[in-house]
Amino acid sequence: MKQILLITDGCSNVGLSPVVAAAHASSEGISVNVVGVLDHGDVGELGATEIDEIARAGGGLSRLVNMRQLSQTVQMMTRKTVVQTIQLAVQKELKQVLGNGAIEALPPDKRGEVVRVIDELGETSGLQVALLIDASASMKPKLAAVEEAIRDLMLSLQARQGKSEISVFHFPGSRNGGDCVMDLSWTSHLNGVQAIFPKLQMGGTTPTGPAIMHVIDFYRQGDYGRQSRDETDGMMSGYVV
Amino acid sequence: MATSFKVELRRGMVVTGKWKHGRYKVERLLGEGANGKVYLVQRDRNWYALKVGFDAIDLQSEINVLQSLAKQKKQGQEPFLFDVDDLYGPDGREYPFYIMRYVLGSRLVVYLKQHGEEWFPLVGLNLLNKLSKLHEAGWVFGDLKVENVLVADYGHVELVDYGGVTASGKSVRQFTEMYDRGYWNCGSRSADPGYDLFSFGVLCLQLHEAKRLHQLTAELLPQNRSAAELIEIAEASAALRPIAGWLRKAFAGQFHDAGDAAAAWRHLMHRRDTHRPSATPVWLKGLAAGSAILLATSVYWLLRNVL
């Protein structure tokens, strides 16, 4: 199972529409979840609509939360999306039994069996979550909470019986180029990772769409990402499209 | 796509099961959990609790746990799960529900307020025994917190909201941050008996030092959350000091299982100083001293007269 989890606090303003990018992800079998982080006010109507639409296009969930709820929300969304992904797959498999209906159309006795399978697969299937963090200037004071949420998510995933990996990206890249930078390649633990976001240079633009495309590419290239981590130094840790 | 809507049932409404046509009259809302609402309902003059879920898959997975538990129950014990069905909400949508035994009881905090702190050691023991039984059957409760414990007469304890109940060894299905072992940097989120015992420890703190506990969660940086901080609260509290040693073991995961933890708890209960007020009242001490002096004086006079 593949997921992208986007954490942002506002609207994209450069490049490809993030809704189109999320639809691309969905067609590659990657679910896109979006968390909108509020500080005092809100993300604005435009931001809220975009967040909702990205998740819809990406077949995932969206939530607007304040920083205190971030860890719990990220953890809960990831879990729910796992169940949902498997539910959709099982529904497809059972099409002959279910017709076009959902699992809800089964009588409760039979539902029990199906849900047992869903739960089991949800616990044991391999899972990859690519975290994509909006690091535009307004997000700066929130990055500590984001890092905490990432560590908390890793803790939850480590408790699963299946193999779980996360990777971390942020956007925009440094001042003069790059939509997206990789901070951490696929890993199943954060032991020894002191800081996930060391000395970020906060950019002014918010290229959410291009950044999602970048992560889809990373997924496509699979093992390439793994190798690049070993072969590059700090400067290059995050190959640029 | 599974989207959840919040259903609301009103007093006097009659709910009819879609598949088995059971009819239930709604009396009132009993509580709300993470994945559904619980109502008091009536059928054939009997009271039951009805849990209606926001999401069919989510609720079914809880029902599966309850059904496995029911199968494991020894004969002669009261049945717990009575009916599983779907209902049509006032908004016309279908919602899944199940019917369980209605437990008459008060929330833990309310019970101790009404009946007195002196019930706390016994209620704690009963709760540990309850957890121990669940663990023996291969399950971990997961989302243990004050809101999920009901107390009936004479300190009898019931656990409510089985949404977090997880088979041993799997990842805990539902938890509350403040009660979570992982949140305090004290271990994994894998379901094992120690996970519940950790939450039990936090629950003790929540009962006696709620303010300080909440202050701690607000002030501490995530990397500084630790068992030591929790124990510090316990040791500064008159009510918790007698069980501070027990809590230390619970937070460190040093109990072998809940049975072991319950035994240690029972041992504490029968030590004199655990019960508050622990010391003998001053007037009784005075009385004892007085009578001793009186005795000594009379013995002295007696001896003096005899000799």
User: Which amino acid does the sequence have at A127?
Assistant: L
- Mutate which: A32, A123, A154, vs B, most B CBs within 10 A: A123
Whether B3 and B83 have beta carbons less than 8 Å apart is answered as: no
Q: pTM for the full model?
A: 0.84
- Whose CA is closest to A133, among A227, A202, A50? A202
Which residues lie closer than 8 Å to B232 by C-beta, 6 or more apart?
Answer: none
Q: Measured between beta carbons, which residues in chain A are less than 8 angstroms from residue B84?
A: 108-109
In this predicted model, what pLDDT tens digit does every residue of B64-120 receive, in sequence order? 999 988 887 765 566 688 999 999 988 888 999 999 999 889 999 999 999 999 999
Closest CA–CA distance from residue B63 to any residue of chain A (Å): 8
Q: What is the 3-state secondary structure (H, E, C) of A122-161?
A: HHHCCEEEEEEEECEHHHHHHHHHHHHHHHHHHHHHHCCC
Which tokens belong to A28? Answer: 């590659």
Q: Beta strand pairing status for B94-101 and B139-140?
A: unpaired
Whether B193 and B167 have beta carbons less than 8 Å apart is answered as: no
How many whole angstroms separate alpha carbon B139 and alpha carbon B166? 6
Residues of B labelled catalytic:
143
**Average pLDDT of B226-233?**
96
Query: Of chain B residues 15-54, which have a CB less than 8 A from chain A?
Result: 19
Q: Which residue has the tokens 């969206």?
A: A62
Q: Where are the domains of chain A?
A: 2-236
In this predicted model, what pLDDT tens digit does every residue of B163-174 receive, in sequence order? 899 999 999 999
- Reported as a pLDDT band with limits 50, 70 and 90, residue B27 is very high
- Mutate which: A155, A158, A164, A193, vs B, most B CBs within 10 A: A155
- Asked whether the predicted pLDDT for residue B42 surpasses 60, the reply is yes
- Whose CA is closest to B25, among B39, B37, B7, B43? B43
pLDDT value at residue B85: 95
CB contact, 8 Å: A81 with chain B?
Answer: no
**Residue pLDDT tens, chain A, 241 long:** 999 999 998 788 889 999 999 999 999 999 999 999 987 666 667 788 999 999 999 999 999 998 888 999 999 999 999 988 888 888 887 777 776 677 888 888 889 989 999 999 999 999 999 999 998 888 888 898 999 999 999 999 999 999 999 999 999 886 655 788 899 999 998 887 888 887 777 767 889 999 999 999 999 987 544 544 444 444 444 444 3
Across the A:B interface, residue pairs with CB atoms under 8 Å apart total 68
Residue B32's SS3 state is: strand
Q: What is the torsional sign of CA A169, A174, A175, A176?
A: negative
In this predicted model, what pLDDT tens digit does every residue of B284-298 receive, in sequence order? 777 777 788 888 888
By residue count, chain A amounts to: 241
CB contact, 8 Å: B79 with chain A?
Answer: no
> Number of helices (H) and strands (E), helices first, in chain B?
9, 11
- Reported as a pLDDT band with limits 50, 70 and 90, residue B235 is very high
In this predicted model, what pLDDT tens digit does every residue of B167-196 receive, in sequence order? 999 999 999 999 999 999 999 999 999 999
Q: Which of B57, B64, B222 sits opposite A83 (nearest CB)?
A: B57
Q: Measured between beta carbons, which residues in chain B are less than 8 angstroms from residue A115?
A: 57, 60-61, 64
Q: List, as one string, the DSSP characters of B223-259.
A: GG--HHHHHHHHHT-TTTGGGHHHHHHHHHT--SSHH
Q: Which residue has the tokens 């999320």?
A: A22
In this predicted model, what pLDDT tens digit does every residue of A161-217 receive, in sequence order? 999 999 999 998 866 557 888 999 999 988 878 888 877 777 678 899 999 999 999
Q: Which domains does chain B have, with CATH numbers?
A: 14-101 (3.30.200.20), 106-274 (1.10.510.10)
Q: Which of B67, B172, B189 sits opposite A112 (nearest CB)?
A: B67
Q: Which residue of B has its CA nearest to A75?
A: B174
Whether B101 and B41 have beta carbons less than 8 Å apart is answered as: no
Q: Which residue has the tokens 């120690």?
A: B194
Domain A2-236: which topology?
Answer: Rossmann fold (3.40.50)
pLDDT value at residue A225: 47
Query: Of chain B residues 189-218, which have a CB less than 8 A from chain A?
Result: 189-190
